[in-house]
Amino acid sequence: MRTETVLDVRDVTFGYDAAETLLHIDELKIARGESVFLRGPSGSGKSTLLGLIGGVLPPRQGHISICGTEMTGLSAGRRDQMRATHLGIIFQQLNLLPYLNILQNVTLPCRFSALRAKRAGGESQAIAEAARRLIGELGIGEDFLTRNVGTLSIGQQQRVAVARALIGGPDLIIADEPTSALDSENRDRFIELLNAQRKTYNCSLLFVSHDLSLAKYFDRSLDLPQLNQVRAS
């Protein structure tokens, strides 16, 4: 059965330099289906925290568990597996792969996780169909599927990044300032679309940004400088 707490961060500290501590998060918990906005000014450690949650950076101490599985102490290979299976990641620079077409970009997580592939339908035909459906729901026509990433507008690329994060029903989407390059109208539309989609697929969301005006779109808002014991003390 899927657990109800998708993310549990406890007493985690991290620093890039052994002599300095950048982050000390006492507790950060996200329940299934919940959307959480995490605000912090530039340089406050938002991307670093997402790197810790994604298992890309190892914490100096503390516990990070994703869907009840403790990430700290796992091998790098197992962490990669956990990330592929449970997380959908939307990067600030989107990180779509330019040498793959849209369909290949969207279905990528299913190549790295058997569970994501299974949830998306199992067979390659069914996975392609799931990608087609997602892209359609996000307002991109089917004729785009075989196109290269470079032929899309930024707004379309962002929708492809959302489809890639959502395919195969990850438990938690982490989004790192994906709207910072957008004007306010497109930014609002993008967040509404992301929220509608994640509700359909029952994914939790952790969305980080420096822009406090976005807080209204989420169930709950947190302030990283307040959450961070290093900065608070």
Token readout for 139 is 């307002």
Output the CA angle 221-224-227, nearest 5 degrees. Answer: 90
State the nearest-atom distance from the C-beta of 58 to ligand ADP, in Å: 13
User: In this structure, which amino acid lies at residue 161?
Assistant: A
Burial class (CB in 10 A: 0-12, 13-18, 19+), 42: exposed
Q: Which does 24 bind (CB under 5 to 8 A by kind): Mg ion, ligand ADP, none?
A: none
Longest Cα–Cα distance of the chain, Å, equals: 55
Question: Considering beta carbons, is residue 42 or 125 the nearer one to ligand ADP?
Answer: 42
228 near ligand ADP, judged by CB under 6 A = no
- Per CB under 6 A, the list member of 7, 14, 40, 178 interacting with ligand ADP is 40
Q: In what order do the strands lie in the sheet with 61-66?
A: 23-31, 5-14, 61-66, 69-70
Stretch that binds ligand ADP, among 25-33, 37-45, 69-77, 95-103 (CB under 6 A): 37-45
**Binders of ligand ADP among 86-145, rule CB under 6 A?**
none
Q: Which does 88 bind (CB under 5 to 8 A by kind): Mg ion, ligand ADP, none?
A: none
Residues that bind ligand ADP (CB under 6 A): 16, 22, 40, 42-48
